[in-house]
A = this chain, B = another copy of it.
């Protein structure tokens, strides 16, 4: 054992001018393109050009287009739902408050951008759920985690004496369905007002009346 001490961690290679790896760049471009043009509407050639990546590099990190799609779903879409929905709801004073905050934040964001791309999860769910069982399973997992997080928040509120008289599972289903459908309508109409209308009609405001 006259060899020197290893000074680099095996498996953690870094490129000269690419400290974070080319894989991340591809995922960034793919995530954006899948949302705007869909999975089938995004060709690998387009992604390669947009990311500045050669065909060999892309094939090295993602052997097939399906592998890239699954990576986007598992790593990016799931993270987006966790960041924009699950986190804020769990951090809010109550489930109802959290839902209202997220709806308002989403509407504000859409109006600020002036362009509605839709919900990443729903966009891919519609296109890929019936096309491939693996895609469907990956998307269903995200929906389930989303629902369970909201339902669990309601149960926690109820143990603290709040949110009486509502069914956790039903509330979670209603909230997610309404949000998804409202984003679908907003995307088609290219207008965010329907999101605020749905929020006002939901039983999360002062007067739950529709």
Chain B binder among A9-17, A20-28, A37-45, A63-71:
A37-45
Question: Taking chain A's interface residues, is the majority helix, strand, or loop, or is none over half, making it mixed?
Answer: helix
Measured as residues with beta carbon below 8 angstroms from the partner, the interface class of chain A is 35 or more
Contacts of A140 in B (CB 8 A): 188-189
- Nearest CB to that of A177 among chain B residues? B181
Complex partner residue of A184 from B122, B131, B200, CB under 8 angstroms: B122
Binds B, one of A74-82, A85-93, A164-172: A164-172
Give the complex CA separation of A178 and B178 in angstroms: 4
Oligomer: number of copies: 2
**Contact yes or no, A182 B173, CB < 8 A:** yes
Report the minimum CB–CB distance from A26 to chain B (whole Å).
22
A6 at interface, CB cutoff 8 A: no
CB-based closest 10 A-B pairs: A177-B181, A180-B181, A181-B181, A174-B201, A126-B126, A173-B197, A170-B201, A177-B182, A171-B210, A166-B210
CB distance from A124 to the nearest CB of B (A): 9
Q: In the complex where A41-B40, A181-B181 touch, is A209 in contact with B203 (Cβ < 8 A)?
A: yes
The residue from B37, B167, B182, B200 contacting A201, defined by CB atoms under 8 A apart: B167
Query: B127, B136, B177: which contacts A127 (Cβ < 8 A)?
Result: B127
A198: chain B residues at CB < 8 Å are 170, 173-174, 177
- Nearest B residue (CB) for A95: B210
